[in-house]
Structure 1
Amino acid sequence: MKRFLALGLAAFFAMTAVLTGCSSTPEKIRIGEVTRSLFYAPQYVALEKGFFKEEGLEVELSTIPGGDKVMSALLSGGIEVALVGSETSIYVSLQGAVDPVVNFAQLTQTDGTFLVSRNKMDDFTFDKLKGSVFLGQRKGGMPQMVGEYVLKKHKINPQGDLELIQNIEFKNIASSFASGTGAYVQLFEPEASRFEQEGIGHVVASFGTESGTVPYTVFMTKQSYLDSNATAIQKFTNAVYKGQQWVASHSAKETANVIGKYFEQIDPTILETAVQRYLGQGSYATDPILDEKEWNQLQDIMDSAGELKQRADYTKLVNTTFAIQSKEGK
């Protein structure tokens, strides 16, 4: 039943694309982002500055918590484009997907988490984690895999040298630490900056800086959609690139002001601090090109965490054509 439903949806969207191409009505693309995050600032800038509209696109953004749920929405036709970690496309491929999910535009190029200590440390070294209680991220997710990769890089066995907690839901990790769980925690912004401001914790290291460049968050779609909607995907990628260039050429305060409507519950000062932290460590990709070196680094991290059954072919799951053309202005 699900198979026939998926086929029906695919046929419907294909017909919609044809009809749209024959009218002046902007083509609609639905994006499903895995979470609402400051990490995705260039996307929000592209939306707020009208870069998608300039390209003749009507973009509808929804937040779908959980990489598995985002992939389900993409594969079933509920969305056309997913914004999620590249590892999800590898998982889908290894399950034998007939219609593979293809990465076409990179948004972030480092891990976005920080190591936060309950106690302030001016002389932090990673070996101080030994024997501590470390509140990590969900097993199998990219944040946790990067966390373990960095610990191993510093000669720390995540399963033996400390007490690693990874059974707490993503949305509850920050509140669990605030309520007293753990001596260290792995957090995204703006929680890291908020905890510093409130005296709950102190940033002592960046997992993004420690783990190097990786395709951490990428826009992806099904191969079938890519094949039948190449013009729309090119326009979409052009808008993403404009957003990336805008963020790269403006201050953290200017970016924070533009994206503020997406984070109304966050203090503007913390918003600016968090954006500056990501800018400072080069987390925001300045162009949408996902290169093979980054892809291989991602798989090295997955392999180190024991989450990669076999390596995925870069040429099958990554298409840089649209990103290259955007950067070259074609």
Structure 2
Amino acid sequence: MKKIRFIAVLSGFFLIFLSACNAAETTKISLAEVTRSLFYAPQYVALEKGFFEEEGLDVELQTTWGGDTTMTALLSGGADIALVGSETSIYVYAQDSRDYAINFAQLTQTDGTFLVAKEPKPDFTWEDLEGSNFLGQRVGGMPQMVGEYVLKQHGIDPHADLDLVQNIDFANIAGAFASGDYDYVQLFEPTASVFEKEGQGHIVASFGEESGKVPYTVFMTKQSYMEENDKAVEAFTRAIYKAQQWVQESSAEEIAEVIEPYFEDTDLEMLASSIDRYKSQGSFATDPILDEEEWDNLKAIMKEAGELPVDAPYGDLVDTDYAERVMTD
């Protein structure tokens, strides 16, 4: 009887030892996303399908609501990796930071906003915007810069031809449009479709279709973190690539079912239609590589908006090594 107890005790210690080893092999990563959006569907797929766990990562997601707060979290150590517009890395670089943010995996490759009108516009043309009361986005942020770029392509000066309002926080823009006296606004999904369903707005154009490919939302981390956690960054990139492939091969309905826990206030049918809208215009990057042509397009958009502080070199702020490694595994 004592022998049996002794063996049981040994077995218990062995299980505890194995658990401790497994815990030791798991790397915790704090991930900050700039907002909660269907635009980031592959990220939520990576979380829900267990792709991060397969790579030995314990990823904790936080929504930091806005480019400034997201970069503050990253640079201060409040987050290890940030999902945010790649323009923010250029702003940090321009401040002569010694430990600037490096873009290592692209998630979205078009603008993710849609032009929403307060009233139905069955025969909409861009000229309809002239003289309108337009609720804009944050100065220097990607939605606003891409919006201005597209408007200028259609011969509209956003600061001269519109009554442009830009004093509303990002998180409150949708509510301000619904309750305020505005004619147009840029909205992400699923908010744009929800507004349309509820009769609070009408989608009349896609900024993503109009602006072409751009590194709109990218995973980035500090140089120091990358140097000290090379394997973790590679594992993170591999999990994202798995998710990108899964999203590419799956239907909008399948994707919606997987990521539904992140959008509890939106019904499944609405999620699926919004995801389909993004898929059909090629918004989700199919691999993590941010190429130089996209980077140059980003800088052209920033320059057109008067927001490019320095001519940030692609080789300084973009690292495609991780993406290339995981794509050749």
Corresponding position of 1:263:
263
Q: Provide Cα deviations, 1:69-127, integer angstroms capped at 9, x if missing partner.
A: 11111112121101100011000000000012100000011111000112222221101
Who wins on radius of gyration, i.e. which is larger?
2
State the shift of 1:254 in Å: 0.7
Task: Give distance in 2, aligned partners of 1:21 and 1:296.
Answer: 46
Task: Give distance in 1, aligned partners of 2:211 and 2:327.
Answer: 26
Corresponding position of 1:247:
247
Corresponding position of 2:8:
none
Corresponding position of 1:228:
228
Corresponding position of 1:92:
92
Task: Give distance in 2, aligned partners of 1:66 and 1:195.
Answer: 22
Task: Give distance in 2, aligned partners of 1:123 and 1:274.
Answer: 22
Corresponding position of 1:321:
321
Most deviating of 217-226 and 73-82: 73-82
Corresponding position of 1:42:
42
Most deviating of 268-277 and 103-112: 268-277
Matches within 5 A, 1:97-112: 97-112=97-112
The alignment status of 1:154 with 2:154, answered yes or no, reads yes
TM-score (structure 1 length as normaliser): 0.91
Task: Give distance in 1, aligned partners of 2:314 and 2:22.
Answer: 35
Matches within 5 A, 1:16-55: 24-55=24-55
Q: Is the 8 A contact 1:135 1:166 kept in 2?
A: yes
Corresponding position of 2:173:
173
Corresponding position of 1:144:
144
Task: Give distance in 2, aligned partners of 1:64 and 1:183.
Answer: 28
Q: CA RMSD in A?
A: 1.5
Task: Give distance in 2, aligned partners of 1:170 and 1:73.
Answer: 17
Task: Give distance in 1, aligned partners of 2:232 and 2:284.
Answer: 23
Q: How many residues align?
A: 310
Q: Provide Cα deviations, 1:35-93, integer angstroms capped at 9, x if missing partner.
A: 11111100000010000111111111111112111111111212110110001100000
Q: Provide Cα deviations, 1:230-253, integer angstroms capped at 9, x if missing partner.
A: 111111100000011111111111
Q: Is the 8 A contact 1:118 1:200 kept in 2?
A: yes
The alignment status of 1:288 with 2:280, answered yes or no, reads no
Name structure 2 gaps, 5 residues minimum.
1-19
Corresponding position of 1:118:
118
Task: Give distance in 2, aligned partners of 1:156 and 1:49.
Answer: 44
Report the secondary structure of 1:29's partner residue: strand
Corresponding position of 1:7:
none
Task: Give distance in 1, aligned partners of 2:179 and 2:225.
Answer: 45
State the shift of 1:142 in Å: 0.8
Among all aligned residue pairs of Structure 1 and Structure 2, give the percentage whose two residues are the same amino acid.
62
Report the secondary structure of 1:103's partner residue: strand
- Amino acid in structure 2 at the alignment position of 1:197: K
Corresponding position of 1:6:
none
Name structure 1 gaps, 5 residues minimum.
1-19
Q: Is the 8 A contact 2:65 2:171 kept in 1?
A: no
Task: Give distance in 1, aligned partners of 2:211 and 2:21.
Answer: 43
- Amino acid in structure 2 at the alignment position of 1:171: A
State the shift of 1:24 in Å: 4.2
Q: Is the 8 A contact 1:234 1:322 kept in 2?
A: yes
TM-score (structure 2 length as normaliser): 0.91
Q: Is the 8 A contact 1:135 1:181 kept in 2?
A: no
Q: Is the 8 A contact 1:29 1:57 kept in 2?
A: yes
Corresponding position of 1:4:
none
Matches within 5 A, 1:42-81: 42-81=42-81
Most deviating of 122-131 and 92-101: 122-131
Task: Give distance in 1, aligned partners of 2:92 and 2:294.
Answer: 19
